């Protein structure tokens, strides 16, 4: 057997777990994390131009080639007009729409499908509000693996068309992503397919963390004052936080400034994490009847709730919401101020940022990075 350079341990109780077909912790039911020995500063990064440039930090076996479509290394776009509009000194947009299939989900699926292929699973199944299903369909096609995608009928039509185009088995359901999640787990149990839901397996977040590596490198191996992330399941925020922890362990970034202030943006019609944060809770209760046109935020019971709440509190961050009208307006402002065709989730992030500045929760002299998680074109029929 080939010895891996990482182990899997519970993010909450530190119980070890097997590397392949790993799901939640068998002891406490919380998500698993891949753990690595510190990667020392000046360790050569991989000679390639995608997220696997950060291979020394990634779950790859010796000599293994990842399943890749060129994901990652997305631009960090300076947005001075937008900075003025929201009231901060400096604002960048990290444009994840430039990934394959038009969203940040490509990163997680590249890593997760790489590990699933190595495990020899008969197929993959995922519940999706849209972008995760499109990404999995693409990477499963690249890996020549079978895949079933279960999506609410309210998922934007262009995303469903992408899933169809990639040859995935697409199941449309009435209900929301939580209902799709239950169906995905049931199908995995009966078919032997591996369920690849957000944070239910440990490798999607390993792909997501490359956003943190890129952000630090693009800023000259330092971190911004604030990161604003539109949050449904939570794997983006968790991934960035995890990446910066790993960089600090190897001396890549200064030990006295490892993490930014994390701000979680949610839609007012589906805000389980924001509600839990305001209540001082350590976990989020399921949101009844989630409603928002920003489909990536329509996640009523996020598995990463405890981790995201902990990250915000550790970094002096907060969670807040935006109305549907505010999401639409700030999506429009973003497009006209920058030329970025952003998904409505980023309009939510900008609205929350502006409100945070107005309320004094974010300093006006701050350097802020807002993540645009997907393409606006994916939401237009």
pLDDT in tens, 133-162: 999 999 999 999 999 999 999 999 999 999
Who contacts 375 (Cβ-Cβ below 8 Å, separation ≥6)?
Answer: 97, 102, 103, 341, 342, 343
What is residue 3's predicted lDDT score, i.e. its pLDDT? 62
* Closest alpha carbon to 206 in 46, 28, 6: 6
Statement: residue 1 has pLDDT above 60 = no
**Higher local confidence (pLDDT), 192 or 20:** 192
Let me know: does 302 contact 284? Beta carbons within 8 Å. yes
Distance separating alpha carbons of residues 363 and 91, to the nearest angstrom: 12
Q: What is the mean pLDDT of residues 279-288?
A: 97
In 3D space, the residue among 46, 155, 166, 175 whose CA is nearest the CA of residue 106 turns out to be 166
Mean pLDDT of the chain: 95
Residues 6+ apart with CB under 8 A from 326: 347, 348, 351
What local confidence, expressed as pLDDT, does residue 20 receive?
84
All structural domains of the chain with their residue ranges = 76-102+204-379
pLDDT at 256 (0 to 100): 85
Over range 9-26, report the average pLDDT: 93
Pick the CATH number of 76-102+204-379 from 1.20.210.10, 3.50.30.60, 3.40.50.1100, 3.50.30.40: 3.40.50.1100
pLDDT tens digits, one per residue of 50-95: 999 999 999 999 999 999 999 999 999 999 999 999 999 999 999 9
The per-residue pLDDT for range 349-375, each reduced to its tens digit, is: 999 999 999 999 999 999 999 999 999
Assess contact for 267 and 240: CB atoms under 8 A: no
Task: Give the pLDDT confidence of 173-203 residue by residue, as tens digits.
Answer: 998 888 999 999 999 999 999 999 989 999 9
SS (H, E, C) 34-99: EEECCCCCCCCCCCCCCHHHHHHHCCCCCCCCCCCCCCCCCCEEECHHHHHHHCCCEEEEEEHHHC
């Amino acid at each position: 057997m080939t010895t891996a350079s990482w182990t899997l341990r519970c993010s909450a109780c530190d119980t070890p777990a097997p590397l392949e077909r790993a799901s939640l912790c068998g002891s406490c039911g919380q998500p698993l994390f891949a753990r690595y020995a510190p990667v020392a500063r000046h360790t050569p990064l991989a000679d390639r131009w995608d997220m696997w440039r950060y291979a020394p930090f990634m779950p790859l076996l010796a000599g293994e080639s990842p399943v890749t479509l060129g994901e990652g290394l997305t631009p960090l776009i300076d947005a001075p007009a937008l900075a003025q509009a929201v009231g901060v000194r400096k604002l960048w947009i990290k444009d994840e729409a430039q990934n394959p299939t038009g969203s940040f989900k490509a990163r997680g699926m590249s890593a997760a499908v790489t590990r699933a292929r190595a495990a020899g699973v008969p197929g993959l199944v995922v519940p999706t509000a849209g972008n995760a299903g499109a990404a999995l369909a693409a990477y499963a096609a690249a890996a020549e693996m079978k895949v079933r995608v279960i999506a609410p009928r309210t998922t934007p039509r262009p995303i469903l068309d992408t899933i169809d185009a990639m040859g995935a088995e697409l199941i449309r359901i009435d209900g929301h992503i939580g209902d799709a999640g239950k169906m995905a787990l049931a199908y995995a149990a009966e078919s032997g397919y591996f369920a690849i839901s957000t944070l239910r397996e440990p490798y999607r977040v390993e792909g997501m963390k490359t956003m943190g590596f890129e952000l630090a490198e693009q800023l000259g191996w330092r971190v911004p004052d604030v990161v604003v992330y539109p949050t449904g399941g939570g794997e983006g925020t968790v991934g960035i936080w995890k990446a910066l922890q790993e960089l600090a362990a190897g001396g890549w970034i200064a030990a006295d400034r490892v993490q930014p202030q994390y701000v979680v943006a949610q839609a007012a019609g589906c805000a389980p994490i924001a509600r839990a944060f305001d209540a001082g809770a350590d976990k989020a209760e399921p949101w009844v009847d989630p409603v928002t046109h920003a489909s990536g935020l329509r996640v009523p019971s996020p598995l990463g709730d405890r981790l995201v709440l902990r990250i915000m509190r550790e970094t002096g961050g907060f969670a807040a919401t935006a109305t549907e009208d505010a999401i639409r307006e700030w999506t429009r402002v973003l497009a006209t101020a920058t030329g970025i065709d952003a998904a409505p989730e980023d309009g939510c992030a900008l609205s929350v940022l502006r409100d945070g500045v107005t309320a004094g929760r974010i300093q006006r002299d701050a350097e802020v990075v807002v993540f645009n998680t997907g393409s606006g074109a994916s939401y237009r029929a």
